[in-house]
Amino acid sequence: MVRGDTIGTDMEERLQKLIARAGITSRRKAEELILAGEVTVNGKVVTTLGAKADPERDHIKVRGKLINPLLRSQEKVYILLYKPKGVLSSLSDPKKRPLVTDFLPRLPARVYPVGRLDFQSEGLILLTNDGDFANLITSAKYEIPKTYHVKVKGIPGEKQLNLLRRGVVIEGKRTAPAKITELRRTDSNAWYEVTIIEGRHHQIRKMFDKIGHSVVKLKRVGIGFLTAKGMKPGTYRHLTPAEVKQFFEYARTPKK
């Protein structure tokens, strides 16, 4: 029986967490499905984000498909892919553009991208069917750093870069402090290494737009301790169990 925040049994979990764990989509997207009335529990539509259910006892459907078998048999898959430029970080596209999943072989489970890397950018992106892992990587509260190499138009002054280091207001919300180091420069452009702990939509591009130096090229070269070393556009590898464990241990470590 679906319940609100008052739990009836220890086996009950939030619906968005169950949907993500089944590999249907990310926890954030699962919340959108719930609010849109796309989720039912024992035949009843549930639109409350705090609702919980017991997958051993309740019949949980997403868009009419029963997810209970997926919860029982799902093998966890964790993949690191170097996304080429001109590829969507999505599972489908009405315009039939290339997708990140086009570069993967047949897998024992359906995986989905963890966060986004925009169409014109290249670099590292994770794909998984583990909703808890995806939430850990994307949630700012766990402070998983993402590192980018960014080429910008013109050469920003140190005062402008310090604004980004401290945080700037984008769409009414201040960004978390960023680490920015110059890599190289020409007469008309400069490359920087930028590390942030957030993953807001087009964040790096909007940050540099804020100081009047638009991004020309953007590459994500690091996610936590994972790097792009030895990887080329379109290549991928599976994470090792030790690497997955290291991310969860990092998330549990208190941050200063």
Q: Which has the minimum average pLDDT: 27-31, 69-73, 220-224?
A: 69-73
* pLDDT confidence of residue 28: 84
The number of distinct structural domains making up the chain is 3
User: In CATH, what number is assigned to the domain containing residue 133?
Assistant: 3.30.70.580
Write down which residue in 41, 73, 105 finishes a domain: 73
In a domain? residue 1: no
Amino acid of residue 107:
L
Please indicate, yes or no, whether residues 130 and 233 belong to a single structural domain of this protein: yes
* pLDDT confidence of residue 5: 38
In a domain? residue 195: yes
Please indicate, yes or no, whether residues 150 and 213 belong to a single structural domain of this protein: yes
Burial of 225 (0-12, 13-18, 19+ CB in 10 A): exposed
Q: Which has the minimum average pLDDT: 22-26, 47-51, 164-168, 225-229?
A: 22-26
Please indicate, yes or no, whether residues 47 and 160 belong to a single structural domain of this protein: no
Reported pTM = 0.75
Please indicate, yes or no, whether residues 181 and 163 belong to a single structural domain of this protein: yes
Q: pLDDT, tens digit, for every residue of 209-225?
A: 999 999 999 999 999 99
* pLDDT confidence of residue 113: 94
Q: For residue 24, name the pLDDT band (cuts at 50, 70, 90).
A: confident
In a domain? residue 210: yes
Task: Please determine, for residue 72, whether its predicted confidence score (pLDDT) is greater than 70.
Answer: no
User: In CATH, what number is assigned to the domain containing residue 47?
Assistant: 3.10.290.10
Please indicate, yes or no, whether residues 207 and 164 belong to a single structural domain of this protein: yes
* pLDDT confidence of residue 256: 66
What residue numbers bound the domain in which 174 lies? 145-223
Please indicate, yes or no, whether residues 64 and 97 belong to a single structural domain of this protein: no
Please indicate, yes or no, whether residues 231 and 104 belong to a single structural domain of this protein: yes
The mean pLDDT value for 218-244 works out to: 97
Q: pLDDT, tens digit, for every residue of 109-121?
A: 789 999 889 999 9
- What b/e sequence results for 190-208 when a residue is b if at least 16 CB atoms lie within 10 Å of its CB, and e otherwise? bbbebebbbbbeebbbebb
The mean pLDDT value for 80-91 works out to: 96
Please indicate, yes or no, whether residues 212 and 231 belong to a single structural domain of this protein: no
Task: Please determine, for residue 6, whether its predicted confidence score (pLDDT) is greater than 50.
Answer: no
Q: Which residue has the higher pLDDT, 114 or 74?
A: 114
Q: For residue 60, name the pLDDT band (cuts at 50, 70, 90).
A: very high
Please indicate, yes or no, whether residues 153 and 199 belong to a single structural domain of this protein: yes
Please indicate, yes or no, whether residues 125 and 25 belong to a single structural domain of this protein: no
Write down which residue in 73, 98, 119 finishes a domain: 73
User: In CATH, what number is assigned to the domain containing residue 210?
Assistant: 3.30.70.1560
The mean pLDDT value for 168-193 works out to: 95
Task: Please determine, for residue 228, whether its predicted confidence score (pLDDT) is greater than 80.
Answer: yes
Active site residues: 118
Q: What is the DSSP string of 69-129?
A: HHHHHPPP-EEEEEEPTT-BSSS--TT---BGGGGS---SS--EESS---TT-EEEEEEES
